[in-house]
């Protein structure tokens, strides 16, 4: 029996949440049972793209999605491939699954990775207002062509597709404590490379510099903390369009010596486990929050916003959940309390996370069943 042929559709294979998860989960499928094609809007030429290409064939979409003949053109491509399933990670582009329907692909998965309702409560754009006023129109439009609906959380599922029968499958990670225990000299070499102080507590954040991640509140909390004590340093892991704006705000504050930007990093889990002393995550909204699983595996105290789906993510007792309406002073109180927390070893946290939705094997097994539904 030939392997089932599954196509994933993403924007491009940059090292972001969905794409990193895809790079982790694809190698878990047996090659004799599944083969994969990845369609992208744009080639990224990244290490992640090269790694994924070892486990899947990467193709450019045949043309821009919004062009009029896209659906029949892409349908022809899908027909030629003889696909068993199309897994769409671009929920705002339902044309993908309409083309799959036209090509008679039996399994057509619409996958939502973000809580759109929570996002729209935090922003005031015209599109957000219209979505709040007419949610049924959004649900109907984004559901076209799909046979199966998946959300990384309940909020992500219902905010985009409405009251549909679907599966909640969190974007888990490999639960391997050895991944959180790098070489003995990792912390020293990383700190030396980035000139981090060794006599201060490190408060860290991991995420793209976009509105969703709420770096402005992070900065206000940091400023409040630095009014109280001088033994703290703040590290940002990630890049993004708002990075220069945050840099400028820090420069204007006169506290630049207390902040370090280290850009994109491959060894995020090792950084959390050996460099950070606390993880501060005041996001405006999250569909799931994969970095929070990594922080738990690393045994890192976490101060996070209540908008995050804590019933999905919060497995350990390392969390403090704070309302976004709270003042920076209250957030700072939580940070100071977190710094007093005794950190567990990854060998202690790993068993708490294994065989739960946080475990990538949990999601792999569920997706295998969905793909086999053809």
* C-alpha span between 96 and 11 (Å, rounded): 12
- Cross-strand bridge partners of residue 206: 237
* C-alpha span between 14 and 22 (Å, rounded): 11
Confidence of residue 120 (pLDDT cuts 50, 70, 90): very low
Asked if the 4-172+359-372 domain carries CATH number 3.40.50.2000, the reply is: yes
Asked if the 177-353 domain carries CATH number 3.40.190.10, the reply is: no
Confidence of residue 134 (pLDDT cuts 50, 70, 90): very low
Whole-number average pLDDT of the chain: 90
pLDDT digits (tens, 9 = 90+) for 7-23: 999 999 988 889 999 99
Token representation of residue 200: 């201060």
Break the chain into its structural domains and give their ranges.
4-172+359-372, 177-353
Determine contact, residues 136/176, Cβ cutoff 8 Å. Answer: no
Helices and strands per DSSP (H, E), number in the chain: 17, 13
pLDDT digits (tens, 9 = 90+) for 259-310: 999 999 989 999 999 999 999 999 998 877 889 999 999 999 999 999 887 6
Question: Of 50-54, 144-148, 216-220, 235-239, where does mean pLDDT reach its minimum?
Answer: 144-148
Q: What is the pLDDT of residue 342?
A: 92
Q: What is the pLDDT of residue 136?
A: 47
> Which residue reads 């209250």 in tokens?
330
Token representation of residue 167: 């599966």
State mean pLDDT over 46-62: 95
Question: How does 151-160 read in b/e, with b if 16+ C-beta sit within 10 Å?
Answer: bbbebbbbbb
Is 367 buried (19+), middle (13-18) or exposed (0-12) by CB count in 10 A? Answer: buried
Q: What is the pLDDT of residue 73?
A: 94
Token representation of residue 334: 């939580």
pLDDT digits (tens, 9 = 90+) for 311-348: 656 678 899 999 999 999 999 999 999 999 999 999 99
pLDDT digits (tens, 9 = 90+) for 189-224: 999 999 999 999 999 999 999 999 999 999 999 999
State mean pLDDT over 237-249: 96
């Amino acid at each position: 029996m030939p392997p089932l042929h599954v196509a994933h559709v993403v924007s491009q294979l940059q090292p972001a949440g969905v794409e990193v998860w895809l790079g982790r989960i694809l190698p878990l499928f047996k090659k004799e049972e599944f083969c994969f094609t990845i369609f992208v809007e744009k080639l990224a030429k990244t290490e992640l793209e090269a790694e994924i290409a070892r486990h899947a064939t990467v193709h450019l979409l045949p043309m821009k999605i919004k062009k009029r003949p896209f659906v029949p053109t892409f349908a022809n491509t899908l027909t030629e491939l003889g696909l068993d399933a199309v897994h769409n990670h671009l929920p705002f582009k339902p044309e993908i699954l309409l083309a799959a329907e036209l090509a008679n692909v039996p399994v057509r998965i619409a996958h939502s990775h973000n809580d759109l309702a929570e996002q729209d409560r935090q922003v005031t754009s015209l599109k957000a207002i219209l979505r709040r006023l007419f949610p049924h129109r959004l649900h109907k439009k984004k559901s076209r062509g799909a046979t199966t609906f998946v959300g990384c959380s309940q909020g992500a599922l219902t905010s985009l597709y409405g009251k549909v029968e679907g599966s909640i499958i969190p974007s888990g990670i490999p639960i391997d404590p050895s991944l959180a225990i790098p070489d003995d000299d990792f912390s020293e070499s990383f700190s030396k490379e980035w000139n981090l102080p060794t006599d201060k507590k490190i408060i860290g954040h991991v995420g793209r510099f976009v509105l969703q991640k709420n770096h402005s509140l992070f900065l206000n909390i940091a400023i409040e903390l630095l009014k109280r004590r001088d033994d703290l340093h703040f590290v940002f892991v990630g890049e993004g369009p708002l990075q220069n704006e945050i840099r400028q705000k820090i420069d204007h504050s006169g506290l630049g010596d207390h902040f370090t930007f280290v850009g994109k990093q491959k060894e995020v889990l090792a950084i959390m486990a050996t460099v950070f002393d606390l993880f501060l995550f005041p996001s405006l909204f999250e569909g799931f929050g994969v970095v929070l699983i990594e922080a738990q595996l690393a045994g890192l105290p976490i101060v996070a916003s209540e908008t995050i789906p804590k019933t999905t993510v919060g497995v350990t007792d390392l969390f403090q959940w704070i309302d976004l309406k709270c003042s920076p002073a209250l957030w700072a109180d939580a940070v100071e309390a977190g710094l007093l927390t005794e950190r567990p070893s990854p060998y202690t946290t790993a068993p708490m996370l294994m065989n739960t939705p946080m475990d990538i094997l949990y999601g792999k097994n569920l997706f295998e069943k969905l793909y086999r539904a053809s």
